[in-house]
């Protein structure tokens, strides 16, 4: 990380964080501690994507929204709308190091699949909170890069409203959505449903998806009881990668016309909130089920079907007090999670009754955390937290290719965080943060290890310094961080294969020490009342600190699939009270191809810059919009790999869409 260069561009970097005056931001509610609080009371640097940002954006889905407004990198390595997300440069393991929560409930699954962000209707989202480098203390494993918390809209007392949305665009895209909010003084129901279909930019990339989500809530003096429920269904064709010649001649083509996947998921959360004087009590009881499958055709056809079931209980309490005039609070909570997993492989769906291989796994986790928060009159805010967790993994494997295995392992990882923020005045503040986090191996991580044994938990130590400046119409933020990891969980093509062969060919392993470091500059500027500019610049590095794999010393070399630069520039112009023009430019710097841990491949993945434009018109209860993405018809890809099993040329890539058009109409009933 070249800090001189970073400081040089700091003045020019203004960010995708929404522009708030101090008074407006003080009204925003966040849940970084698993309890609601004012944004200005949180000492950690929480980024907030508001409902207004979501409604005004031209994002086609959550991954794109998180890139444009939250600074997360998104990666398409399958053709799925559930693109990989990556916070603070973890590369191919970005999904496993970015914790994603839906109303406080973890939705990352215990495998290497991307988090199913497409199952969450955009119109159901109230706001999104992003905590870079934070979240391990209140939420547990998987937050080494940070946490993304998606908070949905609930029924509002006395409100009766509904809305319909119809959108259409390039490549046969049709997007229909409906919502309803019906609530009395105490009982209310919010419902959201959507249907999306598209032929896809690539051939054999058709998508059909349906979602439904609801929140039934009862509120009465100091207490709240509710049930959140959701279901989603996805049918997706998989176009596969393109080798160099195919990419040059026919980037939209496919060499896998028979490949496909499907997913059916359901979840429900029963929640309770109660206030007793200065004490707040809360608890969530959640259940998630997912059935998914993937079929890869070819010389050796393979069909895999996976069942996932997770039951979690999370009680917690917050006590507010003011000893010696210092406003403070104490939070105590815990999590009990029981996850079960079963995957079967066969040559076809019909052959699944006699599978070639079966993996049955479970992960049982019990954790407890405590946090102390204080706000001093001198403008200093303190946050101190600690978590301990007991995780027991079990993996049973039966395969026609080897002897069955039955492995069990228990570990007790811990995490802490100390954060300080000092407001020198209404305009300028400094913050600092120290903390640790951990990640436990998924079933896929443990399935093919270089030792044949279950992997050890990954641990990370994070250090961060930041500064904020805000005045009416202007807000700037700069953060500098360094994260040192031990036992990082990773697939290395340089590592020896699993026993009994131990031949080179790659395996999942605990790496020697690695590091992530970077600088994040963000801010916004309301130039005139109708015109607002905002931008983001991330400068990031990911390196192997030491290690020798397959005879190759990787010390000081780059971790693949981590762009050196990420930048977003956005402009919003309210031309008239009814007409709004939105534009954005996204830039992704060069990065190493997947599988290039040795850093010996002679070229890098090329950088790319994308421009998007959207025009929206509000007429009474109607909102009409039209726009274009990838305005310059840029030819690019966000994922590439050097020689692999199914790649016949030096590189293979997943081409991204060219210029696309869309239009939509939305009507709200009151």
Angle at 635 between CA 631 and CA 641, to 5 degrees: 140
How remote is the C-alpha of 515 from its chain's centroid? 20
Give the residue-averaged pLDDT of 629-654: 91
**Position 273 pLDDT exceeds 70:** yes
The larger pLDDT score, comparing residue 45 to residue 125, is at 125
Closest of 464, 507, 509 to residue 487, by C-alpha: 509
Q: Token digits for 41?
A: 């009371």
For the entire predicted model, the pTM comes to: 0.92
Give the residue-averaged pLDDT of 583-598: 96
Distance between CA atoms of 238 and 404, rounded to whole angstroms?
A: 32
Instruction: State the pLDDT at residue 57.
Output: 80
Give the residue-averaged pLDDT of 135-148: 95
Say if residues 478 and 469 touch (Cβ distance below 8 Å). no
Distance between CA atoms of 102 and 91, rounded to whole angstroms?
A: 23
Say if residues 562 and 542 touch (Cβ distance below 8 Å). yes
Q: Per residue in 370-388, pLDDT tens?
A: 999 998 888 899 999 999 9
Task: Categorize the per-residue pLDDT at 18 as very low, low, confident or very high, splitting at 50, 70 and 90.
Answer: very low
Instruction: State the pLDDT at residue 562.
Output: 98
**Position 476 pLDDT exceeds 80:** yes
**Position 59 pLDDT exceeds 80:** no
Q: Per residue in 244-260, pLDDT tens?
A: 999 999 999 999 999 99
Q: What is the topology classification, in CATH, of domain 3-669?
A: Maltoporin; Chain A (2.40.170)
Instruction: State the pLDDT at residue 30.
Output: 57
The larger pLDDT score, comparing residue 20 to residue 627, is at 627
Residue 652 three-state SS: strand
**Position 356 pLDDT exceeds 80:** yes
Instruction: State the pLDDT at residue 200.
Output: 95
Instruction: State the pLDDT at residue 25.
Output: 46
Give the residue-averaged pLDDT of 197-203: 96
| Residue with the two structure tokens 């949905």 | 152
**Position 157 pLDDT exceeds 90:** no
Q: Quote the mean pLDDT of the chain.
A: 90
Give the residue-averaged pLDDT of 87-104: 95
On the question of a cis peptide bond just before residue 500, with omega within 30 degrees of 0, the verdict is: yes
Taking 3-state DSSP, the helix, strand and coil percentages for the chain, each rounded to the nearest 5, stand at 10, 55, 35
Comparing 1-10, 108-117, 267-276, 624-633, the range with the smallest average pLDDT is: 1-10
Give bridge partners of residue 468 from the DSSP assignment.
429, 477
Comparing 19-23, 325-329, 398-402, 592-596, the range with the smallest average pLDDT is: 19-23
Q: Per residue in 514-568, pLDDT tens?
A: 999 999 999 999 988 899 999 999 999 999 999 999 889 999 999 999 999 999 9
Q: Per residue in 414-442, pLDDT tens?
A: 999 999 999 999 899 999 999 999 999 99
Give the residue-averaged pLDDT of 327-332: 92
Give the residue-averaged pLDDT of 643-657: 88
């Amino acid at each position: 990380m070249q800090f001189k260069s970073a400081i040089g561009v700091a003045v020019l970097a203004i960010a995708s964080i929404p522009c708030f005056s101090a008074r407006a931001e003080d009204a925003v509610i966040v849940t970084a501690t698993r309890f609601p609080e004012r944004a200005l009371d949180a000492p950690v640097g929480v980024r907030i994507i508001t409902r207004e940002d979501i409604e005004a954006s031209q994002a086609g889905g959550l991954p794109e929204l998180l890139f444009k407004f939250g600074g997360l990198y998104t990666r398409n390595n399958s053709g799925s709308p559930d693109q990989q997300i990556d916070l603070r440069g973890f590369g191919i393991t970005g999904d496993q190091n970015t914790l994603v929560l839906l109303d406080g409930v973890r939705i990352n699954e215990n495998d290497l699949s991307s988090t199913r962000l497409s199952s969450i209707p955009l119109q159901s989202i109230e706001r999104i909170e992003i905590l870079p480098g934070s979240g391990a203390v209140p939420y547990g494993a998987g937050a080494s890069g940070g946490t993304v918390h998606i908070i949905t809209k609930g029924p509002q007392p006395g409100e009766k409203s509904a809305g319909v949305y119809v959108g259409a665009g390039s490549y046969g895209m049709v997007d229909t959505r409906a919502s309803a909010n019906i609530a009395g003084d105490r009982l209310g129901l919010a419902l959201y449903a959507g249907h999306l279909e598209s032929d896809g930019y690539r051939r054999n990339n058709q998508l059909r998806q349906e979602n439904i989500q609801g929140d039934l809530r009862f509120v009465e003096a100091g207490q709240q009881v509710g049930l959140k429920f959701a279901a989603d269904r996805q049918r997706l064709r998989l176009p596969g990668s393109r080798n160099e010649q195919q990419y040059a001649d026919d980037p939209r083509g496919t060499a896998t016309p028979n490949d496909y996947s499907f997913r059916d998921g359901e979840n429900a959360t029963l929640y309770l909130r109660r206030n007793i004087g200065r004490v707040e009590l809360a608890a969530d009881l959640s259940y998630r089920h997912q059935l998914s499958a993937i079929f890869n055709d070819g010389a050796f056809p393979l069909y895999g079907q996976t069942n996932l079931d997770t039951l979690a209980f999370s009680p917690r309490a917050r006590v507010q007090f003011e000893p010696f005039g210092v406003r403070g609070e104490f939070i105590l909570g815990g999590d009990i999670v029981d996850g079960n997993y079963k995957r079967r492989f066969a040559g076809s769906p019909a052959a699944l009754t006699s599978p070639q291989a079966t993996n049955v796994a479970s992960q049982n986790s019990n954790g407890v955390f405590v946090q102390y928060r204080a706000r001093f009159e001198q403008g200093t805010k303190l946050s101190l937290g600690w978590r301990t967790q007991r995780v027991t993994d079990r993996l049973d494997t039966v395969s026609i290719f080897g002897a069955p295995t039955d492995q069990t392992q228990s570990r007790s990882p811990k995490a802490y965080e100390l954060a300080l923020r000092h407001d020198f005045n209404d305009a300028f503040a400094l913050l600092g943060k120290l903390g640790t986090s951990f990640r436990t191996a998924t079933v896929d991580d443990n399935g093919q290890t270089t030792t044949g044994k279950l992997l050890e938990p990954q641990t990370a130590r994070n250090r961060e310094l930041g500064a904020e400046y805000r005045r009416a119409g202007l807000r700037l933020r700069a953060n500098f961080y360094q994260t040192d990891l031990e036992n990082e969980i990773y697939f290395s093509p340089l590592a020896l294969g699993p026993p009994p062969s131990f031949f080179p060919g790659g395996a999942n392993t605990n790496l020697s020490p690695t590091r992530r470091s970077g600088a994040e500059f963000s801010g916004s500027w309301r130039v005139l009342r109708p015109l607002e500019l905002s931008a983001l610049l991330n400068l990031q590095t990911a390196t192997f600190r030491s290690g020798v794999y397959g005879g190759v010393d990787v010390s000081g070399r780059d971790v693949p699939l981590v762009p050196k630069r990420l930048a977003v520039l956005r402009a919003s112009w309210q031309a008239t009270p009814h007409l709004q023009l939105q534009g954005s430019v996204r830039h992704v710097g060069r990065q190493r191809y997947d599988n290039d841990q040795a850093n010996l491949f002679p070229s890098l993945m090329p950088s790319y810059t994308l421009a998007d434009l959207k025009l929206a018109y509000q007429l009474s209860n109607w909102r009409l919009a039209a726009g274009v993405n990838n305005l310059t018809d840029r030819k690019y890809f966000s994922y590439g790999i050097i020689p692999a099993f199914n790649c016949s040329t030096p590189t293979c890539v997943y081409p991204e869409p060219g210029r696309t058009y869309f239009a939509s109409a939305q009507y709200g009933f009151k």
